[in-house]
Amino acid sequence: MVKIEEALKMTRFPSQKHKASLNLMYTAWWLKTMISQELKSAGLTLEQYNVLRILKGKHPQPMCVRDIGSRMIERNSNVPRIIDRLVSKNLVNRSTSETDKRETAIKLTDIGLDKLLAATKRVDRLFGESVVMKEEEAEMLNTLLENMREKE
């Protein structure tokens, strides 16, 4: 375990809130890096994986690009570009929405579903091995993080 002081080569912080914020950003980077490496070996980016997970939530119904974008973890992601890449990999299909001809409907393919399930097994294994905390601690952390975003 690396202490935040060692990781950032700092010995003093203006406050515990400041230290906790830096610790949170560093931990998010660490976790994102590990997940990205795992997904890279599965042929996916983190953003592509996120889109596939969102589509699985509505599967077998399609979703419009706008709804996918509103559910992304990183809200500034270029969803149309991500979908273009997923279409080229045959992981999703794109069609015109039946309810609104101006919208594009995106649907998970069988290949995409299989790829997502395989990638999810890898990510779940990574979480099990790398995220060292009890369920009660995770619940407490979730509450603290949600409290932190009170002004979101």
Mean pLDDT for back-to-back runs of 10 residues, the chain (152 residues) = 87 92 93 95 95 95 92 88 96 84 88 96 93 94 92 79
> What is the pLDDT at residue 75?
80
| Bridge partners of residue 149, in order along the sequence | none
Contact 104, 24 (CB under 8 A): no
Q: Residue with structure tokens 């949600």?
A: 146
Tell me the pTM.
Answer: 0.87
Find out whether the peptide bond into 60 is cis, omega within 30 degrees of 0: yes
What local confidence, expressed as pLDDT, does residue 99 receive?
73
Q: Extract long-range pairs of 33-38: CB within 8 Å, 24+ residues apart.
A: 34/126, 34/130, 35/123, 35/126, 38/119, 38/122, 38/123, 38/126
pLDDT on residue 104: 86
Q: Domain spanning 15-130 has what CATH number?
A: 1.10.10.10
- For residue 82, with 0-12 CB atoms within 10 Å meaning exposed, 13-18 middle and 19 or more buried, which class applies? buried
